[in-house]
Amino acid sequence: MASDKPENRFSQVSSWTGKKILLGITGSIAAYKAAFLLRLLVKAGADVQVLMTAAASDFIGPITLSTLSKRPVLSDIQSESNWNKHVEWGLWADALVVAPATANTLAKMSQGLCDNLLSAVYLSARCPVFVAPAMDVDMWHHPSTRRNITRLQEDGVQFIPVGHGELASGLYGEGRMAEPEEIFAFLTAFFARGKSAELRSPLAGKRVLLTAGPTYEPLDPVRFLGNRSSGKMGVALADVLARRGARVQLILGPSAEKPKEEAVQVWRVQTAQEMLDKALELFPRSDAAVLAAAVADYRPAHPATQKIKKTGDSLLLELEKTPDIAATLGRQKQAGQYLIGFALETEKEEVHARAKLQRKNFDFIVLNSLRDAGAGFQVDTNKITILYPGNKAQTYELKAKEEVAEDIVDALEALVDKENIR
- DSSP H stretches of helix in 301-390: 325-332, 349-359
From the CB of residue 111, how many other CB atoms can be counted at a distance below 10 Å? 11
Among 342, 349, 357, 408, binds ligand C5P (CB under 6 A): 342
Q: Which of 227, 361, 391, 420 is catalytic?
A: 227
Helices 31-44 and 180-198 cross at an angle (nearest 10°) of 40
Q: What does the alpha-carbon distance between residue 331 and residue 333 come to, in Å, rounded to a whole number?
A: 6
Binding mask 400-419 for ligand C5P (x = CB under 6 A): --------------------
Indicate whether 325 belongs to the interface with ligand C5P (CB under 6 A). Answer: yes
SS (H, E, C) 345-369: ECCCHHHHHHHHHHHCCCCEEEEEE
Indicate whether 282 belongs to the interface with ligand C5P (CB under 6 A). Answer: no
Toward ligand C5P, which CB reaches closer, 43 or 359?
359
Q: Using CB under 6 A, which of the segments 15-23, 143-151, 340-348, 392-400 binds ligand C5P?
A: 340-348
Among 42, 178, 238, 291, binds ligand C5P (CB under 6 A): 291
From the CB of residue 334, how many other CB atoms can be counted at a distance below 10 Å? 8
Q: Is 389 left (phi over 0), alpha (psi -120 to 50) or beta?
A: beta
Indicate whether 272 belongs to the interface with ligand C5P (CB under 6 A). Answer: yes
Toward ligand C5P, which CB reaches closer, 247 or 356?
356
Among 65, 96, 167, 295, binds ligand C5P (CB under 6 A): 295
Smallest separation (angstroms) from ligand C5P to the CB of 272: 5
Q: How large is the C-alpha radius of gyration of the chain?
A: 24
Indicate whether 326 belongs to the interface with ligand C5P (CB under 6 A). Answer: yes
Indicate whether 293 belongs to the interface with ligand C5P (CB under 6 A). Answer: yes
Q: Residue 390 burial by CB count (10 A; 0-12/13-18/19+): exposed, middle or buried?
A: exposed
Question: What is the identity of the amino acid at 358?
Answer: Q
Indicate whether 322 belongs to the interface with ligand C5P (CB under 6 A). Answer: yes
Indicate whether 22 belongs to the interface with ligand C5P (CB under 6 A). Answer: no
Toward ligand C5P, which CB reaches closer, 71 or 352?
352
Smallest separation (angstroms) from ligand C5P to the CB of 363: 12
- The answer to whether residue 227 is catalytic is yes
Q: 54 — phi, psi (to 5°)? A: -60, -40
Indicate whether 330 belongs to the interface with ligand C5P (CB under 6 A). Answer: no
Residue among 20, 22, 21, 24 at smallest CA distance from 134: 24
Smallest separation (angstroms) from ligand C5P to the CB of 25: 43
Cα separations in angstroms, 41 against 37, 45, 68, 340, 341: 6, 7, 10, 39, 42
Among 174, 179, 220, 324, binds ligand C5P (CB under 6 A): 324
Query: Which residues touch 185 (CB under 8 Å, ≥6 apart)?
Result: none
Contacting residues toward ligand C5P, per CB under 6 A: 211, 272, 291, 293, 295, 297, 322, 324-326, 341-343, 356
Q: Which residues are catalytic?
A: 227
